[in-house]
Amino acid sequence: MKLGLCTWSYNRTFAAGKLTLERLLHVCADELKIGGIDIIDGHFKHPDPAVLLEDMDYLLKIKKLATDLQITISAVSPGNSFGKDRESDEKCEVDKINKWTDVAYVLGSPNLRIFAGWAPKEKHAQLWPKVVNSIKACAAYSAKKGVTLAIESHNGGGYLPTSVETHKLLEEVNSLWVKLNLDTGNYQDPDMYAALKKSMPYATHMHCKIHKLSKDGKELEFDFDRIFRILKDANYRGFFNIEYEGKEEELEYVPKSFAMVRAFMKGYETF
């Protein structure tokens, strides 16, 4: 297993103008001492993939800096939502994800994290076929670029609140180029840990969710003993990228998050 960072961990710091992607790559190498990064779309210089693709010098600068610092860009993570009422809106979502696939290809990222999307619950059954067909269309494009689409289940009214819907979607899309960005804190199954275990065969990339840490760096919400037993039993060898979403100061608590996870990694001999 390889340890990395999801840039969302520093989202408030980015929003305050205290951090750039270039600076964060140096933090990953010199301070956090990790080998991977998952880049959220809003943390690039431009959040629009079409604009990024026109600014090739910038993309290549990011790629070269990551390479020089020996950091793998393990995923690029845009925001998207399939299953729109209007066909024109749905086509825009497909086109956007295809452009983000091109960005991931330029950066050398093997994974593009995507969402199924959000809609009122009463419309899920009606719009579900659109979600499936749109992801199939994006997969046909990403296959030509060698980029795997890593779907992330999400709460807040999303199409994939539990592992049941998530596995159903993966099975209906039925593409070698569509797998799972498995987040350790997003499933709303009655037994989240059983859901994680069932999902491991689909995982190409993972987010290590952290919401609450004590001042001395102890996990206060999730059972990391259970999580690491699941990872070890599955022989997971991909990136496990910390995604800190706590309320405390990110510049202080993200390093504490890494210290906590590293302690579990050593205990389970995952280095």
> Does residue 271 surpass a pLDDT of 50?
no
CATH assignment at residue 18: 3.20.20.150
Structural domains in the chain (count):
1
Residues paired with 170 in a beta bridge: none
**Contact between residue 130 and residue 90 where contact means Cβ atoms under 8 Å apart:** yes
> Does residue 9 surpass a pLDDT of 60?
yes
In the prediction, which pLDDT does 157 show?
A: 76
- SS3 of residue 239 by DSSP: strand
Tokens 């809106």 found at: 89
Per-residue pLDDT tens digits for 65-109: 999 999 999 999 999 999 999 999 999 999 999 999 999 999 999
Q: Give the least confident one: 23-27, 140-144, 196-200, 262-266.
A: 262-266
> Does residue 270 surpass a pLDDT of 70?
no
In the prediction, which pLDDT does 267 show?
A: 82
Domain range spanning residue 106? 2-267
Mean pLDDT of 16-33: 98
> Does residue 269 surpass a pLDDT of 80?
no
Per-residue pLDDT tens digits for 144-202: 999 999 999 987 779 999 999 999 999 999 999 999 999 999 999 999 999 999 999 99
In the prediction, which pLDDT does 155 show?
A: 75
Q: What is the DSSP string of the chain?
A: -EEEEEGGGGHHHHHTT---HHHHHHHIIIII--SEEEEEGGGSS-S-HHHHHH-HHHHHHHHHHHHHTT-EEEEEE-------SSHHHHHHHHHHHHHHHHHHHHHT-SEEEEE--B--GGGHHHHHHHHHHHHHHHHHHHHHHT-EEEEE---SSBS-SSHHHHHHHHHHH--TTEEEEEETTT--SSSHHHHHHHHGGGEEEEEEEE--B-TTS-BSSS-HHHHHHHHHHTT--SEEEEEE--SS-HHHHHHHHHHHHHHHHHHTT--
